[in-house]
Chain A
């Protein structure tokens, strides 16, 4: 994970990414932070925090882990500010860092689980996920909530990159070209990951819907 110079070439973000500060205001804010203003950094954090936490949550499916990842992303931003040349929005930079942190985190977590359960085949379902599936949900739970939980279970069956590509494209509305920049992958690879992710999710969620009374 690189945490050095914060530069990506494009700024083609979905409209919903836009925060209430303009590029000029953001540049002024960054300059104040570089001059040592803690209040300015606090404002930057508060402006972006909900979106960053939500991105991490959609990628991970765990609130505590999402908050940890968000904190780490802001700390890296703080360290990188001296090198931040303003060629991209802070939000773009944060999305890149969060995506990569999550991919690394998921890979470590998956490896840890595999080591723990000594799975023989990589294609076998993750036992931890299987255990999660068996937990009966309360009957009075809202269907939407249950579907959300099921989505996270299904997402857990994807590789870290497949998961990141799907969430960034489908839930964050980011173009594939941007995702390639964020994750450092070629567009062809991104397309293959997206296709595989949608296949797995559709199958898993269709099976679940058919089994649900």
Chain B
């Protein structure tokens, strides 16, 4: 089908005509042209057929699917639980107290004796003469047992 010799209609214009996106003046002019140009009418018809044949994909969401997705969205909108700073701060404070008490310089007579560097267990033993006596007795007992084995 022949186009009119002066036909300058572009495909984009026909497309915009189809979608009713031409300005009123342009639309009027093209409508008039289409009346006189069978080739453009044919082009427009082919374009419209092509576009009409395109499917419109659609998902059918069941009520259960909508509910499931809504629940997921709702769960993600909830604020994340805040870290328990009060719990951690209590634990840190307790640990700091224990460390500071252990490192605190003793005020007893041993501090004057220069026992720095000994462990607190050793310091305790030094402060307890009864324990020392018991240890002496144990050592003596061991010595006696060794002598008995030799003898």
Contact = CB atoms under 8 A, between A and B. Distances in A.
Interface stretch (A53-61, A87-95, A102-110): A53-61
A175 interface: yes
Q: Residue among A50, A57, A66 with the most chain B CB within 10 A? A: A50
B77 to A, nearest CB: 5
**Main secondary structure on B side of the interface with A:** helix
Contact of B57 (A50, A61, A176, A192): A61
B56 interface: yes
B66 A41 contact: no
B87 interface: no
Q: Which of B47, B57, B70 has the most CB of A within 10 A?
A: B57
B80 to A, nearest CB: 13
Given A50-B66, A195-B12, A147 B61 contact: no
A71 B51 contact: no
A84 interface: no
B59 interface: yes
B21 A195 contact: no
A136 to B, nearest CB: 20
A175 B56 contact: no
Contacts of A53: 59, 61, 69
Interface residues on B, range: 20 to 34
Interface in A148-168: 148, 151-152
Contacts of B50: 198, 201-202, 205-206
Contacts of B15: 194-195, 198
Contacts of A205: 50, 53-54
Given A148-B55, A191-B16, A205-B53, A49 B70 contact: yes
Given A147-B55, A152-B57, A41 B77 contact: yes
Interface in A29-84: 38, 41-42, 45-46, 49-50, 53-54, 57-58, 61, 63, 66-67, 70-71, 74-75, 78
Contacts, number: 84
A169 interface: yes
B141 to A, nearest CB: 77
Given A58-B56, A144-B55, A176-B19, A49 B74 contact: no
B103 interface: no
B61 A38 contact: no
Task: State the 9 A-B residue pairs at the shortest beta-carbon distance, nearest first.
Answer: A195-B12, A148-B55, A78-B77, A45-B70, A202-B50, A74-B73, A50-B61, A148-B57, A57-B59
Interface of A: 38, 41-42, 45-46, 49-50, 53-54, 57-58, 61, 63, 66-67, 70-71, 74-75, 78, 144, 147-148, 151-152, 169-171, 175-176, 191-192, 194-195, 198-199, 201-202, 205-206
Given A74-B73, A75-B76, A198-B50, 6 more contacts: A42-B70, A57-B57, A61-B57, A78-B73, A171-B56, A201-B54
